[in-house]
Structure 1
Amino acid sequence: MSALPVSARPMSVFDGLEERLADLRSSGLYREFTPCSYLAEQPGHAMHRGARVQVWCTNDYLGMSQNTQVMHAQVASTLQHGTGNGGSRNIAGTSEAHVELETRLAAWHGKARALIFTSGYVANFETLTTLLAAVPDMVVFSDSLNHRSLIEGIRASKNRRHIFPHNDIAALDDMLGQYPVEQPKLIVFESVYSMDGDIAPITEICDLAERHNAMTYLDETHAIGVNGPSGAGICEEIGEHRATFVQGVFGKAVGTTGGYVAGPDTALDYVRSHAPGFIFTTTIPRSSLDATLRSLDVIQGAAGAELRLKLRENAALMRSLLREARIDFIDAPTHLVPVLVPGGERVKRISRRLLDEYGIYVQPINFPSVAKGGERFRVTVAPFRTRADIEGFVRALRACLDDLR
């Protein structure tokens, strides 16, 4: 049978997607991915299309993914246990390392239980959707700048929800006050907001939670490993232990992969027993968990404290040099340095020139990750960066800004 002429073929349900992709490209919002293969022997560097480049936007804040102890732990575990677990947590996929790590994480955050997920996104989405479905009259109060994983976890539920202005305690207080004390409530927020590098008023929010009989769900993603005497996050740093749930990840400062939630025993046992994204997915390999355990050994000890100090010093030096070069940035109280480069096309052109001419890779951040007009680079300055490295980055950025005004 001969094929139908193009004009006679039935219309595909996907025919309109190319037009929508074209609209995305014309608006400057089409996402480009820059392939880079990290070099373990040269931290902060990667191979990109045959050339060695510096990476200034990684979330591997402490360089732990290239830490010798961590790498050796993963290699040794792989040789002993293989490359995968071959199953979900409830079907031959739970290793002794899962149990050890979950116990250790719960103790780290002073909680009764912890659950490991395949990523921080999955940890947030599955925990929130499962708990909110279990308590349908729970009212959710979400910070307006929360991460997409938190937003989608809340949206997937049918629970009533309120979005309060970013870090606005008075507005949150008013919203909570609209409901009786006995009404179940959950406040969802982050400790460090990565796009601006600012910190939530955690103690004040916990005070409100106590006053209005609400629970709290705190995402410490960008603070884990970086803040606190042992790297447990902002809560540990300020001595605040009232958050009901604490979420964290391994894929940033810990340098491995996965995410977790720590909190009350019964609530997380319920999530363990009902969350589809926990039950019906292949779990993290034993070798990665053994690497995570070794990474925590470093992070929680004296070496981790030295790395955190150096990270802070480097971020402060970067801000000082940016200020001298008259480059706009958000002077945040964290290790993150958001450099403001307004204009969707402009920020992409500067990023491309930095990469092509200076061998510097820094990803442009634009809408919807930030508001239009708030385009930026989210610069990270790992402990292994030298003063010469930082000076070179600022010089290159200044040159590109001057040429592409």
Structure 2
Amino acid sequence: MSALPITTQPRSAFDAIEENLAHLKDTGLYRTFIPCSHLADDPGHALHMGRRIQVWCSNDYLGMSQNPEVIEAQISSTLRHGTGNGGSRNIAGTSEAHVELESRIAGWHHKARALIFTSGYVANFETLSTLLRATPELVVFSDGFNHRSLIEGIRVSGNEKHVFPHNDVAALEEMLAQYPLEQPKLIVFESVYSMDGDIAPISEICDLAERYNALTYLDETHAIGVSGPTGAGICEEIGESRPTFVQGVFAKALGTLGGYVTGPDSALDFVRSHAPGFIFTTSIPCSTLDATLRSLDIVQGTAGSELRRNLLENARRMRAALHDAHIDFIDADSHLVPVLVPGDMRVKRVSQRLLDEFGIYVQPINFPSVAQGAERFRVTVAPFRTPQQIDDFVAALRTCLDDE
């Protein structure tokens, strides 16, 4: 009698995906999304599974998403214009609010033109990939800590690129010097880097750009609303107007939704005419843009100045409390307070215990957002936080760390 053939179960097309997810869970790199429904009548708080919790990791730096005037602007606009625009920017999706906001944003950054996108990620990716594909001879120099949206926009273009060590002006100059003066070049960097909270040497980089005939693309995402006399970012704060392109967002300190890029008229007109992620997507609703315009009114005025002062004062108070409690953190110059909790599983355990026992939500930050061994919490301390809340947060964190 002949032996029966050995049969094997064919691999599913999704086996590799399942294995990858299992690996993420085993190594502590699997990301858990915490449902939190923010409460407009109690800024800094949210509902999680029916329970009221404090949120200490929001990018709504000034609490503008809960500002009564901003909320009223969005409600009034919704009642007048509806909940959506019904099309892309070139097919009935450009509202009068788009036109007004783009004009105001361009003026805010002293640029010829502004272009609004559905998010900051899309703004970076579409602008860089579109402009770089149109100029294949342009060489890109990108900071090693740049956001993924910048990295991907550069990568898909196929242009020659160099990654310089984070904020290392000397290394950047060495790379620039390898090319003829007439070679087109673009330096891509951020003003405030969200994971460490540090600030780029913007003027020094602009000096190099002038010396080596390079354009510059500056992402001011985490500085918009919180830096400068009217909240226009670090460039406004230091009196620097030389970056060729300046990118920003509405979805953080302005409390609404969307991103934008400002810069030369012809370059952004080209992006408007060719970027797939701009042309083939439904535009931001008019009501959201009207809320953004109202938020901008507040942020640019006296009330915005007070919010910025309180934000920075609370960040200083948080750093002092962490220092007194002997908790490791990065003492950065910005409003961001990175608290170091090394270990993929450890940072997740501490985060979970803070939520379960103290009603405090702070998201663990791990690889690939930061290097393994550099896990952390990115703590934000909004202007409405009280000294008692800050002290209670630090005490709860100290208790959780002591038990690890």
Q: Specify the TM-score bucket, using the shorter chain as the normaliser.
A: over 0.9
Tell me by how many angstroms 1:11 deviates.
4.7
Corresponding residue for 1:266?
266
- 3-state DSSP of counterpart to 1:326: coil
Match of 1:219 in 2: 219
- Provide the secondary structure at the position in 1 that maps to 2:216: strand
Q: Deviations over 1:99-141 (max 9, x none)?
A: 0000000000000000000000000000000000000000000
Residue in 2 that maps onto 1:47:
47
Counterpart of 1:36?
36
- Show the counterpart of 1:97: 97
Deviation of residue 62 (structure 1)? 0.1
How far has the Cα of 1:12 moved from its partner? Answer: 3.6
Matches within 5 A, 1:363-402: 363-402=363-402
2:246 paired with 1:229: no
**Post-superposition offset of 1:17:** 1.1
Whether the 8 Å contact between 2:347 and 2:364 is mirrored in structure 1 is: yes
Deviation at 1:89, TM superposition (A): 0.2
Deviation at 1:20, TM superposition (A): 1.3
**Partner of 1:16: helix, strand, or coil?**
helix
- Corresponding residue number in structure 2 for 1:199: 199
| Equivalent residue, structure 2, for 1:4 | none
Show the counterpart of 2:328.
328
Q: Describe the SS at the equivalent of 1:91.
A: helix
Contact 2:209 2:216 in 1 (8 A): yes
Is the 2:329–2:339 Cα contact (8 Å) retained in structure 1? Answer: yes
Q: How far off its partner does 1:266 sit?
A: 0.3
**How far apart are the structure 1 equivalents of 2:344 and 2:20?**
18
Aligned to 2:290: 290
Question: Which aligned pairs between 1:242-257 and structure 2 lie closer than 5 A?
Answer: 242-257=242-257
Distance 1:11 1:350 in 2: 38
**Structure 2 Cα separation of the partners of residues 274 and 240 of structure 1:** 30
**1:77 and 2:53 aligned:** no
Structure 2 counterparts to residues 114-193 of structure 1, below 5 A: 114-193=114-193
Which letter does structure 2 place at the counterpart of 1:325? Answer: A
TM-score under structure 2 length normalisation: 0.98
Deviations along 1:345-404, one digit per CA (max 9) or x if unpaired, are 000000000000000000000111011111100000000000011000000000000011
**Distance in 2 separating the partners of 1:216 and 1:356:** 46
Between the aligned partners of 2:264 and 2:355, the Cα distance in structure 1 is 46
CA distance in 1, matches of 2:264, 2:301: 27
Per-residue deviation at 1:224? 0.1
Q: Distance in 2 between matches of 1:105 and 1:50?
A: 39
Question: How far did 1:78 drift?
Answer: 0.2
Letter in 2 for 1:58: S
CA distance in 2, matches of 1:63, 1:317: 18
Q: Which amino acid aligns with 2:75?
A: V
Aligned equivalents of 2:84, 2:9: Cα separation in 1 = 45
Distance 2:324 2:8 in 1: 65
CA distance in 1, matches of 2:309, 2:95: 34
Any idea what the Cα deviations from partners look like across 1:208-231, whole Å, max 9, x if unmatched? 000000000000000000000000
| Displacement after TM superposition at 1:158 (Å) | 1.1
Amino acid in the other structure paired with 1:402: D
Find the residue that maps to 1:367 and give its secondary structure. coil
Shift of 1:29: 0.5
Measured in 1, the distance between the counterparts of 2:271 and 2:225 equals 25
Q: Please give the per-residue CA displacement for 1:131-172, whole angstroms capped at 9, x wherever unaligned.
A: 000000000000000000000001101100000000000000
Q: Secondary structure at the match of 2:357?
A: helix
> Within 1, Cα distance between the matches of 2:9 and 2:87?
43
1:59 aligns with 2:63: no
Amino acid at match of 2:382: A
The alignment partner of 2:15 has SS state of coil
Q: How does 1:322-361 map to 2 (within 5 A)?
A: 322-361=322-361
Q: Which residue type is aligned with residue 245 of structure 1?
A: F
Q: Matches of 1:187 and 1:63 in 2, distance apart?
A: 33
**CA offsets 1:301-320 (integer angstroms, 9 cap, x no match):** 00000000000000000000
Paired positions, count: 398
Answer yes or no: is 1:108 the counterpart of 2:115: no
Aligned residue type for 2:182: E
Unaligned runs of 5+ residues in structure 2 are 1-6
Contact in 1 for aligned 2:27/2:345 (Cα 8 Å): no
Aligned residue identity for 1:27: T
Distance in 1 between the 2:375 and 2:89 partners? 41
Q: Which runs of 4+ in 1 moved over 3 A?
A: 7-12
TM-fit CA distance, 1:13: 2.1
How far apart are residue 15 of structure 1 and its match? 2.6
Q: Which amino acid aligns with 1:130?
A: T
SS at match of 2:236: helix
Do 2:143 and 2:188's aligned partners in 1 also have CA atoms closer than 8 Å?
yes
The one-letter code sitting in structure 1 at the alignment partner of 2:149 is S
SS state of the match for residue 156, structure 1?
Answer: helix
Q: CA–CA distance in 2 between the matches of 1:259 and 1:38?
A: 21
Between the aligned partners of 1:179 and 1:277, the Cα distance in structure 2 is: 32
RMSD, matched Cα: 0.9
For 2:132 and 2:10, locate their aligned partners in 1 and report how far apart those are by CA, in whole Å.
Answer: 42
Question: Percent identity of the aligned residues?
Answer: 76
> Distance in 2 between the 1:101 and 1:283 partners?
14
Q: For 1:67 and 1:159, how far apart are their aligned partners in 2?
A: 43
Residue 27 of structure 2 corresponds to 27
